[in-house]
């Protein structure tokens, strides 16, 4: 995955230069065009997050600061719900780490297209790697007509949309009664769709169901939120073993 | 009001989220991760979403107990099918919220 074909190198070096010569405005426009579905998806989720956070006693400033610094929807929802259950600070941070560990793989996959980028660019760009921006940028990079400036625009635009909508939710939260507009279902619905994005074959579906079943059993046995990480690690390992045993079986 | 405790929490969350995002792209770009690690990491997202969704749909109350046919679970089926067909994140969120709101009115 990290070894690019040498023949592709000149193409990639040339690409950003051409885009830069074309001017900043078309680049930003392309970025916006690719980012708007993400913003559309973020808006109700961001609002919902702001509302929930406000109900958990976090003000608009705290919400905005968290969205700006963390920028990870699912982890932020979990953190707020754990906060409402007065979970320990360390267990919230540990859960965040495990929930967001998946970005490790996304970052690795994106690195193939971000060779020869400056240290400053990578520091800025990597903060914006989310499930959604990753999905959009990888698709565009694979199609070959995508520069790092456009990819960065996607990340920055979706980041701004996330921060903005969560702050808005925190302000409007007090005017929205609990459970209104089915807002409590924004997160489960987003997770269902993100799960669908990850289902790229039968093994992935088996792993998901396995992990879900394990999580239900573990959640009944252990209080707290450790069941999520335990189930995910167990199920991924079982899925991995299953994949390896199938490959081995085929060879024999 | 932002308490020190809260500030520490989000700084911690920021750090543990930023490192996995930044580390591979800046340091592992020239290196090949071991094949088994790539294959294992490849299954982590799907496993995490499975582990996040299922307990939320099947468990209620504190202490938690199993309840198979609750509104959250009933709404999940059409929402999942909608996501499968459209692959639209925004649409799925809106449909899910609408169906849940509807279920609250009916049930």
Q: What does the pLDDT read at residue A74? A: 81
Tokens standing for residue A72: 């990870």
In this structure, the answer to whether residues B95 and B46 fall within a common structural domain is yes
ipTM score of the complex? 0.85
In this structure, the answer to whether residues B71 and B92 fall within a common structural domain is yes
In this structure, the answer to whether residues B45 and B90 fall within a common structural domain is yes
In this structure, the answer to whether residues B26 and B70 fall within a common structural domain is no
pLDDT at A113 over 50: yes
In this structure, the answer to whether residues B20 and B46 fall within a common structural domain is no
| pLDDT band at A6; cut points 50, 70, 90 | very low
Q: What does the pLDDT read at residue A211? A: 96
For an interface test with B, the pick among A122, A180, A181, A212 (most B C-beta atoms closer than 10 Å) comes out as: A212
A2 to each of A113, A174, B92, how far by Cα in Å? 9, 48, 33
In the three-class reduction of DSSP (H, G, I as helix; E, B as strand; rest coil), residue B65 is classed as strand
A71 to each of A42, A172, A186, B74, B79, how far by Cα in Å? 11, 20, 17, 30, 25
In the three-class reduction of DSSP (H, G, I as helix; E, B as strand; rest coil), residue A142 is classed as helix
| B47 phi, psi to nearest 5 deg | -70, -40
In this structure, the answer to whether residues B25 and B58 fall within a common structural domain is no
In this structure, the answer to whether residues B63 and B75 fall within a common structural domain is yes
pLDDT digit string (tens) for B25-61?
A: 887 666 666 788 778 877 877 887 898 899 989 998 8
Q: In chain A, which among 203-222 make CB contacts under 8 A with chain B?
A: 203-205, 207-216, 219-220
Q: What does the pLDDT read at residue B42? A: 77
| pLDDT band at A110; cut points 50, 70, 90 | confident
In this structure, the answer to whether residues B51 and B83 fall within a common structural domain is yes
Q: In chain B, which among 27-66 make CB contacts under 8 A with chain A?
A: 28-33, 36, 38-59, 63-66
In this structure, the answer to whether residues B67 and B43 fall within a common structural domain is yes
pLDDT at B17 over 80: yes
Quote the CA–CA distance of A23 and A79 in Å, as a whole number: 41
Quote the CA–CA distance of A51 and A221 in Å, as a whole number: 31
pLDDT at A245 over 80: yes
Q: What percent of chain A has pLDDT over 90?
A: 35
Provide the number of structural domains found in chain B.
2
In this structure, the answer to whether residues B37 and B22 fall within a common structural domain is no
Mean pLDDT over residues B55-78, rounded? 90
Q: What does the pLDDT read at residue A220? A: 94
In this structure, the answer to whether residues B7 and B45 fall within a common structural domain is no
In this structure, the answer to whether residues B65 and B98 fall within a common structural domain is yes
In the three-class reduction of DSSP (H, G, I as helix; E, B as strand; rest coil), residue A22 is classed as coil
Contact indicator for A37, B89 with CB cutoff of 8 Å: yes
Nearest CA among B39, B105, B94 for reference residue A246: B39
B57 to each of A57, A61, A213, how far by Cα in Å? 26, 32, 11
Residue A247 or residue B59, greater confidence: B59
pLDDT at A2 over 50: no
Mean pLDDT over residues A55-80, rounded? 92
Residue of A nearest to B7 (CA): A62
pLDDT digit string (tens) for A129-176?
A: 998 888 788 778 877 889 999 999 999 999 999 999 999 999 986 676
| Residue in A111, A115, A190 nearest the CB of B28 | A111
pLDDT at B83 over 70: yes
Look up the domain containing B44 and give its range.
Answer: 33-106
DSSP A90-119: HHHHHHHHHHHTTHHHHHHHHHTT-TT--H
Q: Does B92 touch chain A (CB under 8 A)?
A: yes
B41 to each of A101, A102, A232, how far by Cα in Å? 9, 7, 11
């Amino acid at each position: 995955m990290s070894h690019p074909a040498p023949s592709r190198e000149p193409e990639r070096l040339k690409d950003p230069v051409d885009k830069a010569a074309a001017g900043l405005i078309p680049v930003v426009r392309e970025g916006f065009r690719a980012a708007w579905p993400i913003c559309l998806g973020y808006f109700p989720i961001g609002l919902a997050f702001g509302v929930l956070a406000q109900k958990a006693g976090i003000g608009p400033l705290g919400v905005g600061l968290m969205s700006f610094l963390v920028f990870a929807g699912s982890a932020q929802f979990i953190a707020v719900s754990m906060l409402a259950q007065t979970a320990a600070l360390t267990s919230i941070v540990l859960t965040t780490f495990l929930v967001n560990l998946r970005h490790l793989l996304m970052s690795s996959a994106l690195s193939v297209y971000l060779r020869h980028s400056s240290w400053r660019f990578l520091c800025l760009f990597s903060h914006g790697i989310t499930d959604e921006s990753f999905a959009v940028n990888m698709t565009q990079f694979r199609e070959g007509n995508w520069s790092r400036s456009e990819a960065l625009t996607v990340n920055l635009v979706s980041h701004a949309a996330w921060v903005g909508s969560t702050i808005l939710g925190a302000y409007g939260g007090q005017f929205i009664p609990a459970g209104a507009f089915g807002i409590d279902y924004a997160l489960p619905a987003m997770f269902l769709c993100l799960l669908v994005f990850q289902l790229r074959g039968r093994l992935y579906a088996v792993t998901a169901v396995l992990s879900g079943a394990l999580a239900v059993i573990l959640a009944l046995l252990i209080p707290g939120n450790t069941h999520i990480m335990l189930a995910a690690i167990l199920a991924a390992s079982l899925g991995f073993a299953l994949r390896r045993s199938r490959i081995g079986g085929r060879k024999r | 009001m932002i308490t020190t405790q809260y500030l520490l929490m989000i700084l911690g969350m920021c750090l543990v989220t930023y490192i996995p995002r930044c580390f591979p792209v800046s340091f592992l770009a020239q290196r090949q991760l071991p094949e088994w690690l790539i294959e294992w990491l490849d299954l982590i997202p799907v496993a995490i979403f499975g582990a996040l969704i299922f307990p939320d749909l099947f468990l209620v109350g504190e202490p938690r107990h199993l309840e198979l046919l609750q509104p959250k679970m009933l709404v999940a089926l059409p929402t999942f099918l909608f996501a499968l067909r459209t692959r639209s994140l925004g649409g799925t969120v809106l449909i899910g919220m609408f169906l849940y709101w509807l279920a609250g009115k009916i049930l």
